[in-house]
Amino acid sequence: MSAGHSALPVAVVGGGPVGLAAAAHLVTRGVPVKLYEAGETVAANVRDWGHVRLFSPWGFNTDAAATAILREHGWQAPPATALPTGHDLYAAYLQPLAETPALRSVIETGARVRNVSRDGIDKVVSRGRGDYPFALTIDDANGGSRVDLARAVIDASGTWSNQNPASASGTPAIGEITFADRIAYGVPDVLGRDRDAYAGRRVLVIGGGHSAANVLLDLARLAETDHRLQIIWAVRAANLARVFGGGDADKLAARGKLGDDLRKIVESGRLQFALRFAVEKIERAGDAFVVTERAGSNSRTLGPVDRIVVCTGQRPDLSMTRELRLDLDPWLESARTLGPMIDPNLHSCGSVPPHGYKQLAHPERGYFAVGIKSYGRAPTFLMATGYEQVRSVAAHLAGDEAAANDVRLVLPETGVCSTNVVAELAANAGCCGGPAPADADACCVDDAETKATGAAGCGCSAPEAKAVAAQTCCGSRVDA
Ligand SMILES: Cc1cc2nc3c(=O)[nH]c(=O)nc-3n(C[C@H](O)[C@H](O)[C@H](O)COP(=O)(O)OP(=O)(O)OC[C@H]3O[C@@H](n4cnc5c(N)ncnc54)[C@H](O)[C@@H]3O)c2cc1C
C-alpha cells in the first residue's frame, strides 16, 4: 500500500454485531473507518431472526470496545446471565451502539456493497498489487451506485442472506425454485409475523441444526392450540444424537435445553420424523406438495405438506469478492487456516483455538473476512469469536502488532465433543502455518521454527498428532 492510500478509511462491510465491533475497535484506535450496511438499519440479519432467543447470555454477546464507547454515553449493560432475543440484542445493544456519535458518523445504512476489487486492476495483475487501494461498488439507499476507495476491507457481511437449499446434495432440489412461494428458509416467525402461513397447515421442516430446533419448537407450541397443524421433520443424519446436543453437559445451558426440549417433543410423538432423509425432489400433489428422497430402491416420500421450512444452514456469498485473491478452505469456504479447527467432519464442540488477523489473512493483503462469514459453511460460530477476531484485525491495521498477535478466546463447549481428542490434536496440527520446508525434519512451519530455537517442536510430531495431522495439518485434510 503506497503512502497516499494509508489516509483512506478501512471499509467494514456489514453492520451486524461483528462489523459494528470492528468499527468500534477502529474508531477507538483512531483509524479512519467507513461501515456499509445493506439494511435500512444496522443488524438487519439479527432483526430478521429477532424472535429467536439466543442461547448465549449477554456476558458473551457484547464486545469490549463497543461497550466502552456505549458506557461513555451512560449505557448500562444488561444482566450478564440473561438471554436476549435477537430483537433484544438489537434494541439494547446494537442500535444504541450505532447511534453513538462515534459510530453514527461512520455508518451508512441502505448501502449494499456489490463488489470489492483493487482499483483499476483485476485479479490477474500481480505487479504492485498492494499499491492499489480497494475499490468498493456501493448501491446506495437512493438507488444510485458509486465506487468508494479503502485502504483495507473487513468483510463482516455474514451468511444469512445466502441460505443453503433443501437438497442433500447442496444444490436446489428439483422443484425447489418452482415452488419457492411455499418454502421458507432460516427461522420463520411461526408464532408471530409469519403465523398465518403456518396455522392449520401441514408443515415439513428440513434440517438438523439449531435453526430447525427453534422452528420445530415454535411449531409445537402453535400446535398446542391449533390442532389441525401437522409437523413433519426430515433429517439427513442417521440418528438424532448430535441434533439433541450435549444437554446438561453443554456449557451454554440454553443451548443444551434447546436440544432437550426438542427431544421431549420427539418422544411425545407430537411430530413425525424421518431419519437419513436426503431430499431430492419437491413435487405438486393437488394443492400441496410431496417431498421425495434421493432415488433408491425404496426411496421414501413425505407429505402431502402445505409449507416447507428449509433449515440446512448458510454459506458465504463469494460473488462480492470474485476479483480478490482469496485462499479458502476447499469445502468449508472459510479462511483456509480456520478450516481444520472448525470442520464439522472432525468435531462439533463449538470451541475453536484463539485466532486473529494472521489466520484470517488472505493472499489479497488487507482483506479480512470476519464474523460468521469467516466460518464459511461451518455451523458453530459464536459472536464472542468474532469480537476477538476484529480486535486482532483492528490492532493489526493500527500497527499494534503486539496486541494483534495476543489473541485470547475461551468459548463454551457444546458437550457433544465425541471426538474431543481428535479435535484437540487437530487444533494443534492445524495451527502449523503451512507445510514444512522440504529440508526440515518437521511436520509443519511452526514445528520447524520451534525446533530451530532448540525446543522439541510444536507438538504435531507426536504419534497421535501425526495421525490427525495426516488428515488435518496445513489445510490438507482428506475426505473422511
Ligand atoms: C437464529 C440464530 C441464532 C443465533 N444464536 C447465537 C447465540 O445465541 N450466540 C452466538 O454467539 N451466536 C449466535 N448465532 C450466530 C452468530 O453469532 C450470529 O449469526 C451473528 O449475527 C453473526 O454476526 P455477524 O456480524 O458476523 O453477521 P450478521 O449478524 O449476519 O451481520 C451481517 C450484516 O451484514 C449486512 N450485509 C450483508 N451483505 C451486505 C453487503 N453486501 N453490503 C453491506 N452490508 C451487507 C447484513 O445486512 C447484516 O446486517 C445465531 C445465529 C442465528 C442465525
The three-state (H, E, C) secondary structure of the chain, written as one string? CCHHHHHCCEEEECCCHHHHHHHHHHHHCCCCEEEEECCCCCCHHHHHCCCCECCCCHHHHCCHHHHHHHHCCCCCCCCCCCCCEHHHHHHHHHHHHHHCHHHHCCEEECCEEEEEEECCECCCCCCCHHHCCEEEEEECCCCCEEEEEECEEEECCCCCCCECCCCCCCCCCECCCCCHHHEEECCCCCCCCCHHHHCCCEEEEECCCHHHHHHHHHHHHHHHHCCCCEEEEECCCCCCHHHHCCHHHCCCHHHHHHHHHHHHHHHCCCCEEECCCCEEEEEEECCEEEEEECCCCCCCEEEEECEEEECCCECCCCHHHCCCCCCECCCCCCEHHHHHHHCCCCCCCCCCCCCCHHHHECCCCCEEECHHHHHCCCCCCCHHHHHHHHHHHHHHHCCCHHHHHCCCCCCCCCCCCCCHHHHHHHHHHHCCCCCCCCCCCCCCHHHHHHHHCCCCCCCCCCHHHHHHHHHHHHHCCCCC
- Per-residue CA distances from 291 to 123, 277, 304, 335, 445 (Å): 42, 10, 8, 35, 50
Q: Cα(202) to centroid of ligand 1, in Å?
A: 30
Among 342, 333, 348, 305, residue whose Cα is nearest residue 206: 305
Q: Cα(456) to centroid of ligand 1, in Å?
A: 42
Handedness of CA 397, 400, 401, 402 (dihedral sign): negative
pLDDT in tens, 45-92: 999 999 999 989 999 999 999 999 999 999 999 999 999 999 999 999
Q: What is the mean pLDDT of residues 93-106?
A: 98
More confident residue, 424 or 131: 131
Asked if pLDDT for residue 377 goes beyond 80, the answer is yes
Largest CA distance in the chain: 74
Q: Cα(158) to centroid of ligand 1, in Å?
A: 5
pLDDT in tens, 231-266: 999 999 887 877 787 666 677 777 778 888 999 998
Of all protein residues, the one whose alpha carbon is nearest to atom 13 of ligand 1 is: 382
Q: What is the mean pLDDT of residues 24-31?
A: 98
Q: Cα(299) to centroid of ligand 1, in Å?
A: 37
Asked if pLDDT for residue 418 goes beyond 50, the answer is no
pLDDT > 90 fraction of the chain, expressed in percent and rounded: 70
pLDDT in tens, 212-233: 999 999 999 999 999 999 999 9
Q: What is the mean pLDDT of residues 258-279?
A: 90
Phi-psi region of 333 (alpha: psi -120 to 50; beta: other; left: phi over 0): left
Of all protein residues, the one whose alpha carbon is nearest to atom 37 of ligand 1 is: 157
Of all protein residues, the one whose alpha carbon is nearest to atom 5 of ligand 1 is: 54
Q: Cα(45) to centroid of ligand 1, in Å?
A: 6
Instruction: Give the span between the Cα atoms of 394 and 20, in whole angstroms.
Output: 12
Among 205, 266, 265, 267, residue whose Cα is nearest residue 235: 205
Q: Which amino acid is at 14?
A: G
Among 450, 431, 393, 442, residue whose Cα is nearest residue 33: 393
What pLDDT sits at residue 431? 36
What pLDDT sits at residue 209? 87
What pLDDT sits at residue 298? 79
What pLDDT sits at residue 423? 39
What pLDDT sits at residue 415? 54
Give the number of residues written for the chain.
480
pLDDT > 70 fraction of the chain, expressed in percent and rounded: 82
Q: Which atom of ligand 1 is nearest to the CA of 113?
A: 42
Asked if pLDDT for residue 409 goes beyond 70, the answer is yes
CB neighbour list of residue 341: distance below 8 Å, 6 or more residues apart:
352, 353, 355, 426, 427, 430, 431
Q: Cα(478) to centroid of ligand 1, in Å?
A: 30
Q: Cα(399) to centroid of ligand 1, in Å?
A: 28
Among 153, 148, 77, residue whose Cα is nearest residue 108: 148
Of 180-184, 275-279, 322-326, 442-446, minimum mean pLDDT range? 442-446
What pLDDT sits at residue 344? 84
Q: What is the mean pLDDT of residues 280-298?
A: 90
Of all protein residues, the one whose alpha carbon is nearest to atom 39 of ligand 1 is: 157
- Per-residue CA distances from 236 to 114, 137, 276 (Å): 34, 39, 4
Of the pLDDT bands very low, low, confident and very high (cuts 50, 70, 90), residue 443 is low
Asked if pLDDT for residue 474 goes beyond 60, the answer is no
* Mean pLDDT, rounded, of the chain: 86
Q: Which atom of ligand 1 is nearest to the CA of 61?
A: 11
Of all protein residues, the one whose alpha carbon is nearest to atom 14 of ligand 1 is: 382
Q: Cα(387) to centroid of ligand 1, in Å?
A: 12
Of all protein residues, the one whose alpha carbon is nearest to atom 17 of ligand 1 is: 383
What pLDDT sits at residue 422? 37
Q: What is the mean pLDDT of residues 402-406?
A: 96
Grid cell locating 468: 490427525
More confident residue, 461 or 122: 122
Residue 268: how many CB atoms within 10 A of its CB? 9
Asked if pLDDT for residue 394 goes beyond 60, the answer is yes
Ligand 1 pocket by Cβ (under 6 Å): 13-19, 36-39, 43-46, 49, 52, 54-56, 60, 112-113, 156-158, 160-161, 187, 211, 320, 371-372, 381-383, 386
What pLDDT sits at residue 453? 52
Of all protein residues, the one whose alpha carbon is nearest to atom 31 of ligand 1 is: 16
What pLDDT sits at residue 419? 40
Q: Cα(462) to centroid of ligand 1, in Å?
A: 39
Asked if pLDDT for residue 435 goes beyond 70, the answer is no
Q: What is the mean pLDDT of residues 328-341?
A: 94
- The whole-angstrom distance between residue 179's C-alpha and the CA centroid of its chain comes to 27
Of all protein residues, the one whose alpha carbon is nearest to atom 30 of ligand 1 is: 158
Asked if pLDDT for residue 460 goes beyond 80, the answer is no
Of 22-36, 169-183, 353-367, 410-424, minimum mean pLDDT range? 410-424
Which residue in the block uniquely carries the three cell numbers 468499527? 23
Of all protein residues, the one whose alpha carbon is nearest to atom 41 of ligand 1 is: 113
Asked if pLDDT for residue 421 goes beyond 60, the answer is no
CB neighbour list of residue 68: distance below 8 Å, 6 or more residues apart:
24, 28
Of all protein residues, the one whose alpha carbon is nearest to atom 9 of ligand 1 is: 56
